[in-house]
Amino acid sequence: MRKAIKKVVAAGLAMSMLVLATGCGSSAEETTAAATEAAAEEAADTEAAAEGEATEAAEDGALPGEGVTVALISDVAGTQVFVLDMIAGLEAAAEKYGFDVVIAECPDAAAYEDNARAVLEEGADLIIGGSWQAGDAINKLATEFPDRADYALVDSTVEAENVKCIAFREQEGAYLIGKIAGMVTDDDAELFGAIHVSQGPSSFKWRWGYMEGVKSEKPDAKFVFNYVGDYNDPAKAKEYAIQQFEQGCQFINSAAAGGDKGTFEAALENGFYTSGQDVDLTDPENPYIVTSQIKDTYATMVYLMDQYFGDWNTENETLGIAEGAIGAVYVTHESENPRTDRLTDEDIALLKETADKIASKEIDLSVVPAEETYEY
Amino acid sequence: MDKIKTYLKRFGAIMAQPVIATILGLLVGAVFIIASDENPIEIYQTMFSRSFLSPYYLSQTLTRATPIIICGIATAAAWRAGYINIGVEGQMITGSFAATLAAIYIPLPGPLLLIVSILLGMLAGSIYASIVSVLNMKFGSSIVICTLMLNYVANYIASYLVSYPFMDPYGDGISLVTQTIPESVQFVKLSTTNNLSIGIIIAAIVVIAFYFMERKTVFGYESKMTGFNPNFAKYGGVFERKVMLKTLALSGAIAALAGICEIYGSKYRYTDNMFTSASFAWTGLMAALISNLHPIGIFFTSIFLSGLQVGGQAIQRTSSIPIQMATVIQSSITLFVSAKLGVQFFSKWRKQKKQEPAKPQESKGGAETV
């Protein structure tokens, strides 16, 4: 009896070994195939890049960024398009100029400074902070070691003068979203919703722009805001969206980062209109996503690196609609997905006109009021 | 001679466990590294050379270890008396936030302000911990649940305060931070290139002071007795409620000091979520549990754990291993060290080998495959 059991076990083990071995074999083949494909693509890319840079390369014999290391201190990328796009933008620029990229993702508040100091020690020539949480670390390093590296900060502004700060005027895009919200809803719609990550001044920029936009269409509008409290919580965002819908919101602006998926799901199930943020999140499967607010970190990184290898200065900038970094899908940025019927051609023409007015400061949104003094 | 031999043997017995556990953890981590197409030996080399083995990174590790060590002691102070305080995080936030505000807004000359603000912070931390003892005495509420829940209360209140009334509107005004504390209260730095400050010395002093308090004072003895057997302690004339009040207040004050060392020593301002996201308190709790609440053990375990975190960051930075995988590698080492599996597994295996010579062939086969 015991022998029989042993035999069965042995046979079973042998079988599983076999399965494992073949499994490994096929996956190894797949990876090598994928690798060769990737290599081929890369080669094609570098060829293209090389052609583009042919004139410069001919003069110098090498790309201008060779031997230069650029470090990005960012939040954990995960599924956050904002961070992923930033990394992609930096890597695209690296292909163009030939510098080395170091990405330091920071899982906690103390890690920003730890990583920033470590990359400086490891010889980075340009250190870019990719969120407001990196601001303090960059500010300190720029003050302590002004000569050891160059510094830049995206999405926030700090005091040190040798830091190139690039912030965004997100309120301009939010204004367009608000105006669209006013257009797609019924004439008697009064209550408008929005779901954000957190309360506080950084989200007030978005909320204020949104409210101003809605009011330009529906002057008596009232607003409901909810805060998910996390950058990646679709379940909670969905619950809030359903609550807001039950209260009577026909349009709910989703600005909850990773939580947006939850809002979109609720929109599809309940039939209210919504919009995403950061990149084009419109979806042919979900006609209720009528637009998406653009905050183009990819272009921003490319722009920053063009400056670094061109005419480097540390004057702070804020980018908005005029610079093409902020906008809204179907208005300032085109999309391959079909537009909802609720937005007519006249609406789009009016929106484009509004965008031009914002760009030319005819509608001036550059100064956000303090939340305490704003009534809504 | 014999004495030295037994001493060495004892030292070996103590060290065997963490060393074996670390090796097992490294082996499990290696599986994940191979899964992400990297060479485990190279990765571990970077990990350890960039956390312990070069002076720059060692000082970074010590900087990160400072609050962890003190949190570990704060945990041990309460746990050894039998009061399961898992609210070190909340006490740390309350205490250090109070100290930061005191340092910013009280107009006093430098050294005096330093002492006053630290004492105020520690007072706030101990009062916050005492809420729990009062709740327990009046209503019999569970210390575990109260301390845990008060963590959230502290963090969200601090979050509100730093978003609105005490926010420093510098830059473009979207950063959730307080003003920086005046230079006169910032701790003296021990390094020019990074944040290592006298905080680490304070941590060492706390460890030593706690070691002596535990062994040489009446209070230390009483609270230890209560931890071993509350009924015995009561029968022996220990006034239990007093011990609880004192113990939790002490734990809260030490927890506050941990936060103060982090702010005064390296960050210079309170940033929203700065302690919860870095989970200093929980790492400290882990260090305390791994080292059986022994203060000297807490000191070294904390440094080891913080080194793993610093090394994990280095892995992510320098290789293609994503941050999540780096965390898995870190955690698998921590898991083995904390589970104390190493020694038990090893001794059991040896025992089995000793018992089995009756069936020589099978055991031999087993030994070869292992």
pLDDT at B345: 56
Nearest CA in chain B to A28: B37
Question: Domains in chain A: how many in total?
Answer: 2
State the pLDDT confidence band at A40, using cuts at 50, 70 and 90. Answer: very low
Residues of A in contact with B313 (CB under 8 A): 104, 106, 111, 114-115, 118
pLDDT recorded at residue A303 = 93
pLDDT value at A27 more than 50:
no
Decide the pairing of beta strands A126-129 and A191-196: unpaired
- pLDDT, tens digit (0-9, with 9 covering 90-100), for A62-82: 788 889 999 999 988 877 788
Q: How far apart are CA A109 and CA A119, in angstroms?
A: 17
Which of A38-47, A306-315, B331-340 shows the lowest mean pLDDT across its residues? A38-47
Segment among A108-117, A141-150, B13-22 with least mean pLDDT: B13-22
> A134 with A200, same domain?
no
B278/A111 Cβ within 8 A? yes
Residue entry with tokens 């959730």: B176
pLDDT digit string, tens, across residues A154-177: 998 898 899 999 999 999 999 999
Nearest in space to A109 (alpha carbons), one of A90, A91, A135, A83: A135
Domain for residue A348, yes or no? yes
Q: In what order do the strands lie in the sheet with A273-276?
A: A222-227, A191-196, A251-255, A273-276, A289-295, A326-328
Given a contact cutoff of 8 angstroms between Cβ atoms, the answer to whether B308 and B330 are in contact is yes
**Number of structural domains found in chain B:** 1
Provide the token pair at B230.
């509350």
- Within A155-250, strands assigned E span 163-168, 191-196, 222-227
In this predicted structure, the answer to whether residue A36 has a pLDDT above a threshold of 60 is no
B348 belongs to a structural domain:
no
Does residue A46 sit within a domain?
no
In a domain, A164, yes or no: yes
Q: Which two tokens stand for residue A207?
A: 């909320």
CATH of the domain at B119: 1.10.3470
> Is B350 within the bounds of a domain?
no
Task: Name the strands in the sheet holding A126-129, side by side, starting at the edge strand that comes first in the sequence.
Answer: A100-106, A69-75, A126-129, A150-154, A163-168, A317-319
Pick A119's closest partner by Cβ from B275, B277, B317: B317
B369: contact with A, CB 8 A cutoff: no
Residue B75 in domain: yes
Question: Which residues of B fall within a CB distance of 8 Å from A158?
Answer: 170-171
In a shared domain, residues A98 and A148: yes
| Percentage of the residues of chain A whose pLDDT score is greater than 90 | 58
Which residue in the set A102, A110, A205 is minimally distant from B64, CB to CB? A110
End position of a domain, from candidates A168, A190, A225: A168
Helix (H, G, I), strand (E, B) or coil at A223: strand
Chain B nearest-CA distance from A309, in A, is 24
Instruction: Verify that A237 and A357 share a domain, yes or no.
Output: yes
Q: How near does any CA of chain A get to the CA of B83, in Å?
A: 29
Q: How far is B105 from chain A (nearest CA, A)?
A: 21
> Confidence band (pLDDT; 50, 70, 90) for B348?
low
Helix axis angle for B88-105 and B55-79, nearest 10°, is 110
Lowest mean pLDDT among A251-260, B92-101, B323-332: B323-332
A249 & A366 share domain: yes
Residue B216 forms part of a structural domain: yes
Quote the percentage of chain B above a pLDDT of 90: 57
Cα–Cα distance for residue pair B118/B29, rounded to 1 Å: 41
Contact B172/A at CB under 8 A: yes
Query: Which of A168, A199, A219 is where one domain is finished?
Result: A168
Residue A87 scores a pLDDT above 80: yes
Assess B234–A contact: CB distance below 8 Å, yes or no: no
Q: What is the mean pLDDT of residues A118-134?
A: 93
Residues 324-353 of B with CB under 8 A from A: 327
Instruction: Examine residue A36 and state whether it is found in any structural domain, yes or no.
Output: no
Same domain, A228 and A90: no
Verify that A225 and A366 share a domain, yes or no: yes
Residue B76, domain extent: 39-319
On whether residue A106 sits in a domain, the answer given is: yes
Q: Is the pLDDT of residue B370 over 70?
A: no
Contacts with B63 from chain A: Cβ below 8 Å: 114
Phi, psi of A129 (to 5 degrees): -90, 135
Q: Phi, psi (5° rounding) for residue A246? A: -65, -30
Which of B173, B310, B323 has the CB atom closest to A114's CB atom? B310
Q: Assess if residue A244 is contained within a domain.
A: yes
Q: How far does the CA of residue B26 sit from the closest CA of chain A (Å)?
A: 22
Domain boundary among A168, A199, A225: A168
Q: Is A111's CB within 8 Å of B274's CB?
A: no
The Cα–Cα gap between A241 and B256 comes to 39
B96 to chain A, any CB pair closer than 8 A? The answer is no
Residue A348 reports pLDDT greater than 60: yes
Same domain, A186 and A155: no
| Confidence class for position A60, pLDDT limits 50, 70, 90 | low
How many A×B Cβ pairs under 8 Å? 94
In this structure, what are the phi and psi dihedrals at residue A153, rounded to the nearest 5 degrees?
A: -140, 130
Residue A114 lies in a domain: yes
Residue count (chain A): 376
Contact (CB<8Å) A117/B195: yes
Clarify whether residues A210 and A143 are in a common domain: no
Residue A72's domain spans which residues? 61-168
Percent of chain A exceeding pLDDT 70 equals: 84
Collect contacts of B230-237 with beta carbons under 8 A, ≥24 apart.
B230/B82
* Residues A240 and A357 grouped into a single domain: yes
Non-local CB neighbours of B82 within 8 Å, separated by 6+ positions: B226, B227, B228, B230
pLDDT at A57: 43
Residues ≥6 apart with Cβ < 8 Å to A224: A191, A192, A193, A194, A244, A247, A249
What does DSSP assign to residue B266?
I
Q: Is A361 helix (H, G, I), strand (E, B) or coil?
A: coil
Residues of chain A with a CB closer than 8 angstroms to some CB in chain B: 31, 76, 102-111, 113-115, 117-119, 121-122, 132-133, 135-136, 156-159, 165, 167, 199-202, 205, 318, 372
CB contact under 8 Å between B175 and A136, yes or no, is yes
Q: Nearest CA to CA, how far is A262 from chain B (Å)?
A: 23
Highest mean pLDDT, choosing among A180-184, B13-17, B33-37: A180-184
For residue B239, name the pLDDT band (cuts at 50, 70, 90): confident
Clarify whether residues A193 and A150 are in a common domain. Answer: no
**Which of B248, B256, B330 shows the shortest CA–CA distance to B286?**
B330
Q: CB-CB: which of A114, A156, A199 is closest to B60? A: A114
> CATH number of the domain that A353 lies in?
3.40.50.2300
Q: How many CB atoms lie within 10 A of CB B177?
A: 24
B364 within domain boundaries:
no
The residue among A105, A136, A109 whose CA lies nearest residue A119 is: A105
CB atoms under 10 Å from CB of B70, counted, come to 32
Nearest alpha-carbon partner for B69 in B88, B54, B86: B88
Judge if A178 and A262 occupy the same domain: yes
Asked if residue A188 belongs to a domain, the reply is yes
Burial of A255 (0-12, 13-18, 19+ CB in 10 A): buried
Cβ within 8 Å, pair B174-A201: yes
Bridge partners of A102, per DSSP, are: A71
Q: Are A277 and A295 in contact (CB under 8 A)?
A: yes
CA triplet A122, A128, A134: central angle to 5 degrees? 100
pLDDT at A20 > cutoff 90: no
Q: Shortest CA distance to A105 belongs to which of A79, A68, A141?
A: A79
| Claim to verify: residue A249 and residue A364 sit in the same structural domain | yes
Collect all residues of chain A within an 8 Å Cβ-Cβ radius of residue B326.
Answer: none
> Does pLDDT of B365 surpass 80?
no
